[in-house]
Structure 1
Amino acid sequence: MRLDDTSTWMTYLNEGAQASAIMHVLFVDPRQADGVPDSSALLRGFVAERLAHHPCFQRRIVRSPGGLGSSHLVVDPGFDIADHVSVEALDPSLTWAGFCDRLVAIRHERLDPQRAPWHVMLLTGVPDGPGIRPGTMALVVRTEHAVMDGGASAAFVRALLAVSPLVPARPPTTDSGSGARALPLPPATVVAASSIAEMPRRALRFAASIGQARTRSGSGGAAVEGLEGRGPRAATDPAGSGHRFFVVTTSLRAMNEARAGIPGATVNDAVLALVGGALRRYLLEHATLPEVPLRSIVTVSTTGGTDGRERLIGNDFAMVIFPLRTDIEDPLERVAAIAGASGRIKTALADGPRLHGERAMQAIPPLFLPRALSLLGRLQRRRTPGTQAPAANAVLVNVPIGPGPLALGGAPVYRSLGVPFIEGLGVAHWVSTLGDDMTIGVLARSGSITDLDSYQGAFAQELAAMRAGASPAGN
């Protein structure tokens, strides 16, 4: 099974990444059902039954020889489900802050690239936290980003936890993996020949993407307020090696209220305004608020039409920079300004084939990818000498799990959250929704957000101001 160009590209990029997995955390109430799979053996059987038909269940990534062409997913003859499913009993004295630290530690554990690109861990004895029910368990689901983007990883979670299985179950494979039919790897010469045959297609795509990019840059286009020039430097830019994590809880209803009456505004616009307001409050209290609005990297799905089936593997997204409008004090005015900017950004993104720069990079044979990135970095430094201003100050990822319901062996899942990436940034935010419940998981470097309690309080204050429709005090 050949992976698409984006997935192949990310396979090679992720080699040097500290952690390249997408991480969902699902909170389960075991008191509402009997027979919850809370032991290693029971959980392995449950996972194997639910995921037996998923294309990644017993397959691993194999790169092309010499990095000349696409990566492939092949059946792993040594597959052992025990390598992918585990149960951990948390220390009864653990606090909610300690639990968040444990999630950060799991987030930094890399998935083994020689094994199937997923892992499921059940944490029992979750301590009291915001909206957490007594006796709660947490199911941590990690999937390799090179194989599954946010949408595909959410589909993986739904396949695992759907109340009604999405596909007919088949007998689970044994722990030794003997239930898998191992497909022999194609000879290296065959894969190499296939990779070489791909090169003309890649060359044509590269040339076309560069030509389209030149045409776009020459045709101008409407400027987006808040994105002109370089981004600002801020006290929240990358600093420190440690990481801290906390969770903001709200609802889809609250975000819909915040965008009500603002033409064209989306829930994502309201969340961006919330993050911008929280950063504004934090900087006003602890540092200096830059006059230029802070910016956030936002992941945007570029999936086109669908035939009604969920996409289970592959990457189909772009990373776009949005203004957070931290220069605007009133939260609803900030929503309106962000909505106007996002409309123009989305129009530019949809005008023709995806982002041409990304398409060009994907067309480069993976062997030459590190050199191409190094060259782009040198060219950027030459164009903007003497500046260390970042392209963005934060990141925001929105991966809805869906309306539900979801359950683990009959025990309902009542809350979901995600632990985001933070490579190269000081603070990252992951928005997760399950039904009406919404969480924002915030991961920050220790030197970027030095007072985590204050930043968490800034979210609460901004949420209250948005819902009241009143201007915040600011200082």
Structure 2
Amino acid sequence: MNYVPPTDAIFLLAESRERPMHVGGLQLFRTPDGAGPDFVAGLIEEIRSHPVQWRQFTRRPADPVASFGNVWWTEDDDVDMEYHVRHSAVPRPGRIRELFQLTSRWHGTLLDRHRPLWEMHVVEGIEDNRFAVYTKLHHSLFDGVSALRMNERALSEDPDDPDFRTPWDRTVKKSLPATTNAGITPLSLIRNAAALGGTALSAGGTAASFLPASLKLLNSALRDNHFTTPFDAPRTILNTPIGGSRRFVAQSWEIERVQSVATAAGATLNDVVLTMCSGSIRRYLVEHNALPDKSLTALVPVSLRRNDPEDFGGNAVGAVIASLATDVADPFDRLLAIRESVQSAKRVMSELTPHQILMMSLFNISGLTFTPIPGFVSVTRPPFNIIISNVPGFRNRKYWKGAPLEGVYPASIVMDGQALNITLTSNVDKLDFGITGCRRSVPSLQRFIHHLEDSLAELEKAVGA
């Protein structure tokens, strides 16, 4: 048996029927030209024939799973591949809507702790000669970025590649790309900050660096009106206790459209993404007569480049809280307000050491640790209203057994007080958005897809892009 680090055990301890702690991803493929009607069935047979070689895909909590399993891993020597790799089909005419309904159902069910903590669902019968693969993995073993990288192991840039691979194969044709810039999700910062914080604390370094960093943030909060702090968010219908059922929807937008707005406005691509999300949330809340007078805030991972390439690998990543300017009606003014809020946070964080950045990121996220306490969400203000993550994805076209990858849509975690999550990743020339919500707390989740398009269109009109 292997010891479960406390930073990973958090996700086992926090899990309940209302709070599944797995991350997921939906990949959409087009069947290769000339493939027969049995292509997907043959693909599944080949997937199941590959033995599991990576330990993450063999691990499950030790018995008894509800107590001892939170501390120790055990490994299954013989993984039941027919259980873990499942064959499904959508009803005719095989619309994307039915695929999202299936994904929503799978994403809302707990992984079986008596088996390794992962599942793969291969879905055929999708319109336009397509099939999909939905994979879910427990957050105690994978975060959103590592899950994306694991799935990338199976893909190739060569449509005629004779080698077929699965995410659990040990040997790959080439090394995986390094995770850089904002290649991290806010929840994974809990693991990273706690691990680094514990190391530094044992060396006596964190306590000494934490105080000046705290004073820096306090001073910025008092002097900079654009600097956003935790628990400065209004209560909304998105920040309530949640149930166990989920809704999932997804859509892609061309990077060129988003970048054109950013260039015309003198903003970053991520500023425009946040403004798209802000506009969609504002429209949704207006529809439900629930838009507060005070602006909503978002927890966002940002990249903080340094001049010294030896300092933190040339990059530092922090989780900052940014205003979404939902109280601003004009789309262009909203973009400028969001840009200034993000820049204010970057100015403060850029003066901190890597240890301080991670500790401050943990401080920004700390409000999430109390949400499992009964009644906490109902009597306190949310630390922020939503988590929005932009994860670097694929720069080049990918294939799986000759099938081109058309979309890769992240499905993330929602929790008490955080009933909505927006995660996106780049895929060659597109941004693929995955939106996850509590089915009860966030009705008509599909409206966000329409609102995102409307928000981008009004930004294009505002800047003349």
TM-score, with length taken from structure 2 = 0.73
- 2:394–2:428 contact (8 Å) kept in structure 1: yes
Aligned match for 2:247, one of 244, 265, 272: 244
Deviation at 1:208, TM superposition (A): 4.8
Deviations 1:23-50 (A, max 9, x none): 11111111425377522x642533665x
In structure 1, C-alpha distance between the alignment counterparts of 2:81 and 2:4, rounded to whole Å: 23
Aligned match for 2:143, one of 140, 144, 149: 149
2:215 is equivalent to residue 218 of structure 1 = yes
- 1:243–1:444 contact (8 Å) kept in structure 2: yes
Q: Which amino acid aligns with 2:220?
A: A
- Match for residue 76 of structure 2? 76
Q: Which amino acid aligns with 2:278?
A: G
- Match for residue 393 of structure 1? 385
Structure 1 unaligned runs (5+)? 129-133, 173-197, 308-315, 363-368
- Match for residue 29 of structure 2? 28
Cα 1:206/1:147, change in 2 over 3 Å: farther
SS of residue matched to 2:458: helix
Cα 1:120/1:452, change in 2 over 3 Å: closer
- Match for residue 191 of structure 2? none
In structure 1, C-alpha distance between the alignment counterparts of 2:90 and 2:115, rounded to whole Å: 26
More displaced stretch, 207-216 vs 420-429: 207-216
In structure 2, C-alpha distance between the alignment counterparts of 1:147 and 1:22, rounded to whole Å: 10
In structure 1, C-alpha distance between the alignment counterparts of 2:298 and 2:105, rounded to whole Å: 25
Deviation at 1:440, TM superposition (A): 2.0
Deviations 1:318-353 (A, max 9, x none): 654321111223333333332332233245445221
- 1:44–1:85 contact (8 Å) kept in structure 2: no
Q: How many positions carry a matched residue from both structures?
A: 414
In structure 2, C-alpha distance between the alignment counterparts of 1:168 and 1:301, rounded to whole Å: 38
In structure 2, C-alpha distance between the alignment counterparts of 1:8 and 1:74, rounded to whole Å: 14
- Match for residue 434 of structure 2? 441
Deviations 1:268-308 (A, max 9, x none): 2211111111122233343143222101233458999999x
In structure 2, C-alpha distance between the alignment counterparts of 1:408 and 1:28, rounded to whole Å: 8
Q: Which amino acid aligns with 1:146?
A: S
In structure 2, C-alpha distance between the alignment counterparts of 1:303 and 1:106, rounded to whole Å: 38
- Match for residue 234 of structure 1? 236
- Match for residue 120 of structure 1? 120
Which one has a bigger Cα radius of gyration? 1
In structure 2, C-alpha distance between the alignment counterparts of 1:317 and 1:74, rounded to whole Å: 33
In structure 2, C-alpha distance between the alignment counterparts of 1:358 and 1:64, rounded to whole Å: 34
- 5 Å-filtered alignment, 1:64-463, equals 75-92=75-92, 95-126=95-126, 128=127, 134-163=128-157, 204-205=201-202, 208-219=205-216, 220-223=218-221, 225=226, 227=228, 230-238=232-240, 241=243, 243-263=246-266, 265-299=267-301, 319-349=319-349, 351-352=352-353, 353=355, 354-356=357-359, 388-424=380-416, 425-446=418-439, 448-452=441-445, 454-463=447-456
SS of residue matched to 1:401: strand
In structure 2, C-alpha distance between the alignment counterparts of 1:66 and 1:113, rounded to whole Å: 9
- Match for residue 192 of structure 2? none
Deviation at 1:155, TM superposition (A): 0.9
- 1:32–1:412 contact (8 Å) kept in structure 2: no
SS of residue matched to 1:233: coil
Alignment RMSD: 4.6
- 1:232–1:293 contact (8 Å) kept in structure 2: yes
Deviations 1:376-427 (A, max 9, x none): 979x98xx9x953222222212234312322221111112212232212232
More displaced stretch, 204-213 vs 280-289: 204-213
More displaced stretch, 442-451 vs 17-26: 442-451
Question: Taking every aligned residue pair, what percent have the same amino acid on both sides?
Answer: 19
TM-score, with length taken from structure 1 = 0.71
Deviation at 1:11, TM superposition (A): 4.0
- Match for residue 8 of structure 2? 7
SS of residue matched to 2:214: helix
- 1:318–1:355 contact (8 Å) kept in structure 2: yes
Q: Which amino acid aligns with 1:417?
A: Y
- 2:302–2:317 contact (8 Å) kept in structure 1: yes
SS of residue matched to 1:27: strand
- Match for residue 185 of structure 1? none
In structure 2, C-alpha distance between the alignment counterparts of 1:294 and 1:157, rounded to whole Å: 34
Deviations 1:426-467 (A, max 9, x none): 322121331112232223335544454654432222111112
In structure 1, C-alpha distance between the alignment counterparts of 2:27 and 2:415, rounded to whole Å: 24
SS of residue matched to 1:399: strand
Q: Which amino acid aligns with 1:460?
A: E
Deviation at 1:139, TM superposition (A): 0.8
More displaced stretch, 6-15 vs 83-92: 6-15
Structure 2 unaligned runs (5+)? 167-194, 311-315
In structure 2, C-alpha distance between the alignment counterparts of 1:394 and 1:322, rounded to whole Å: 10
In structure 1, C-alpha distance between the alignment counterparts of 2:442 and 2:17, rounded to whole Å: 25
Deviation at 1:82, TM superposition (A): 2.5
- 1:206–1:360 contact (8 Å) kept in structure 2: no
In structure 2, C-alpha distance between the alignment counterparts of 1:142 and 1:461, rounded to whole Å: 31
In structure 1, C-alpha distance between the alignment counterparts of 2:303 and 2:63, rounded to whole Å: 25
Cα 1:435/1:387, change in 2 over 3 Å: same
More displaced stretch, 156-165 vs 61-70: 61-70
In structure 2, C-alpha distance between the alignment counterparts of 1:334 and 1:142, rounded to whole Å: 35
2:462 is equivalent to residue 469 of structure 1 = yes
